[in-house]
Amino acid sequence: MKIMTRVAGTGKKLLETALKGMNNAYVLWGFRVGAAVLAEDGRIYEGCNVESCISGLGTCAERNAINHAVLHGNRKIKEIAMAMDSETPSEPKPCGACLQYIHDFAENPGIKISMAKARSDGILLETVQMKKLAELLPFPYKPSRVQFQT
Ligand SMILES: [Zn+2]
């Protein structure tokens, strides 16, 4: 339980919620991923990856979790977690597109990202990692001529 203690509190809760999302993933050829965000309203919103028979049309769990928060009126997220099926050999971390998307909605570049591998019945504690967004995406794209609606 030492590792889970390190990510106690919100990170632990987000990982557990991400696991619930992972168990609903719609996977055709990839692997199951779940994500959860703590939004500005203080609530947690989950997401899962949803693939399509058209290659490239599916959406990652992280972006679906953010979209879920936006659907409920949020414009900023305070923290995010993702859980990846332990069956895949890939390292559990958001893809580049999702890192940019997280940056778009993060309240600041210092928000925490908790990452872990999981089986359907639980997070694999020895795989849990926690990083800051700025560590994973040190040079985000920042358009200078776009007017954002907030
Ligand atoms: Zn992604």
Helix (H) and strand (E) counts for the chain? 5, 6
Neighbours of ion ligand 1 (CB under 5 A): 60, 95, 98
Query: 149 lies in a domain?
Result: no
Taking the centre of ligand 1 as the mean of its atom positions, its distance from the CA of residue 67, in whole angstroms, is: 13
Residue 78: the pLDDT is 98
Total tally of structural domains belonging to the chain: 1
Residue 63 maps to which CATH number?
A: 3.40.140.10
Known active-site residue 62: yes
Choosing from 51, 62, 87, 135, the catalytic residue is 62
Task: Say if 144 falls within a structural domain.
Answer: no
Q: How much helix, strand and coil, in percent to the nearest 5, is found in the chain?
A: 30, 25, 45
Residue 38 lies in a domain: yes
> How far, in Å, from the CA of 64 to the mean position of ligand 1?
9
What's the pLDDT score for residue 3? 52
Q: Is residue 150 part of a domain?
A: no
Nearest by Cα to 79 from 144, 28, 34, 131: 131
**H or E stretch including 67?**
helix 61-71
Q: How far is the CA of 145 from the centre of ligand 1 (A)?
A: 25
Query: According to the model, what pLDDT value does residue 1 have?
Result: 46
In a domain, 72, yes or no: yes
93 C-alpha to center of ligand 1: Å? 9
Range of the domain at 61: 2-136
* Binned average pLDDT, 10 residues per bin, the chain of 150 residues: 62 97 97 98 98 95 98 98 96 97 97 98 96 97 73
CA distance 83 to 119: 9
Largest CA distance in the chain: 48
pLDDT at 144 (0 to 100):
79
